[in-house]
């Protein structure tokens, strides 16, 4: 994403600067800059209720678009993937009206930093959480778009994956608004930049690959062959070869399908009872030909067992973490 340096110079606010909303009269004290891009600058600020993330821009349409996305996130029941919207207002600065919005400040390490510190065993639980939240987001007609580790924060304990940047979120059927090449299927020649669930699932696969290649790698031949070669060179990825291959080729039409496949792999690798996994696999293979209603019935039947599986995985990993801290 290109950066707007003139915008950055215009809003080069110092620590202690006070932002007062024109309409709601809420006050925010600037602490420091968190980041900036093509459409605005994000600051860490203090409010009466604690730390917040404040985004300001001279592009009112951009602010309106991102606010609408945050409002849509709030309507996704049972998901806390994106930050909560707290305030929307204007600020009069040097005679000019500047639009801004305030959202929850999500604290914690970035996804890759967390994995590097705690170990690859955490990848399973966090990716399962991410897929669960993406399923709900997709059901509400949105695609996250610019999905990458830099936009993912791990909060907790208990550990929970959250997103800090919803600027690339796009309504399904439209062209992706923002993307980062390494996580973009168009860049690798494996699909279009049309917003559909498969676009996000490709990015999830690339995030998993990124955990084994923290510095990423350059595109050479591109396409599926190069990516599968990189997968097969890392043991932590090779066990997910089937899952990653399907995601990279767009064979999953829903995040839930990818999640079921991951659960099967985890259960098989752990030597647990795979009878449920075999039934799930059979359902997954048939999903291309069944109706949405049939899929929802199948998901409901297996929901309890899948939830228990995720809870057990996360609980065990958290116990290992606590034990490591004590030792």
Reply yes or no on whether the pLDDT at 129 is more than 60: yes
Q: pLDDT value at position 277?
A: 38
- Beta-strand runs (E) in 219-302: none
Report the CATH superfamily, name and number, of domain 5-104: Phosphorylase Kinase; domain 1 (3.30.200.20)
**Which residues contact residue 173 at a Cβ distance below 8 angstroms, ignoring those fewer than 6 apart?**
194, 195, 196
**Banded model confidence at residue 274, pLDDT cuts 50, 70, 90:** very low
What residues are labeled active site? Answer: 146
pLDDT of residue 65: 85
Contact 138, 254 (CB under 8 A): yes
For the chain, give every residue range classified as CATH 3.30.200.20: 5-104
CA gap 319, 129 in Å, rounded: 18
Of residues 278 and 125, more confidence is placed in 125
User: Residues of CATH 1.10.510.10 domain(s) within the chain?
Assistant: 111-326
What CATH fold (topology level) applies to the domain 111-326? Transferase(Phosphotransferase); domain 1 (1.10.510)
Average pLDDT over residues 234-252: 97
Confidence of residue 302 (pLDDT cuts 50, 70, 90): very low
**What is the crossing angle of helices 255-270 and 292-326, to 10°?**
50
Contact 231, 208 (CB under 8 A): no
pLDDT, tens only, 46-84: 999 999 999 998 888 888 888 988 888 887 766 678 899
The string of DSSP letters for 45-77 reads EEETTEEEEEEEES-HHHHHHHHHHHHHHHTST
- Report pTM: 0.80
For the cut 90, the answer to whether the pLDDT of residue 244 exceeds it is yes
159-174 pLDDT, tens digit per residue, is 999 998 888 899 999 9
pLDDT, tens digit (0-9, with 9 covering 90-100), for 21-49: 999 999 999 999 998 766 689 999 999 99
Q: In terms of pLDDT, which residue wins out, 177 or 326? A: 177
Phi, psi of 53 (to 5 degrees): -105, 120
Helix count and strand count (H, E) for the chain: 11, 10
Range 196-225 average pLDDT? 97
Sign of the C-alpha dihedral computed for residues 211, 217, 223 and 227 taken in this order: negative
Q: What pLDDT, on a 0 to 100 scale, did the predictor assign at position 130?
A: 96
């Amino acid at each position: 994403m290109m950066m707007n340096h003139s915008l950055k110079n215009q809003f080069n606010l110092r620590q202690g600067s006070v932002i007062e909303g024109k309409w709601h009269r809420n006050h925010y004290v600037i602490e420091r800059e968190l980041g900036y891009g093509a459409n605005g600058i994000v600051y860490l600020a203090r409010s009466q209720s604690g730390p917040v993330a404040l985004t300001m821009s001279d592009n009112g349409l951009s602010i309106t678009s991102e606010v609408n996305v945050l409002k849509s996130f709030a309507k996704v029941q049972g998901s806390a993937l994106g930050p909560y919207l707290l305030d929307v207002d204007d600020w009069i600065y040097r005679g000019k009206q500047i639009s801004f919005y305030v959202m929850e400040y999500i604290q914690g390490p970035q996804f890759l930093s967390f994995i590097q510190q705690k170990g690859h065993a955490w990848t399973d639980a966090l990716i399962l959480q991410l897929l669960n939240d993406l399923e709900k987001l997709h059901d509400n007609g949105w695609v996250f778009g610019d999905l990458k580790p830099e936009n993912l924060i791990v909060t907790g304990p208990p550990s929970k994956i959250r997103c800090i940047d919803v600027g690339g979120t796009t309504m399904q059927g439209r062209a992706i608004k923002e993307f980062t090449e390494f996580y973009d299927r168009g860049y690798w020649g494996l699909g279009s930049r049309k917003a559909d669930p498969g676009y996000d699932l490709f990015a999830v696969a690339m995030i998993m690959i990124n955990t084994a290649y923290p510095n990423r790698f350059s595109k050479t031949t591109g396409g599926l062959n190069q990516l599968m070669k990189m997968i097969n060179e890392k043991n932590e990825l090779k066990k997910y070869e089937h899952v990653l291959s399907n995601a990279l080729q767009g064979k999953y039409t829903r995040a839930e399908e990818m999640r079921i496949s991951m659960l099967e792999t985890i259960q098989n690798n752990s030597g647990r009872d795979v009878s449920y996994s075999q039934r799930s696999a059979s359902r997954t293979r048939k999903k291309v030909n069944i109706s949405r209603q049939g899929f929802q019935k199948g998901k409901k039947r297996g929901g309890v067992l899948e939830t228990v599986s995720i809870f057990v995985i996360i609980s065990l990993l958290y116990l290992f973490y606590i034990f490591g801290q004590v030792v």
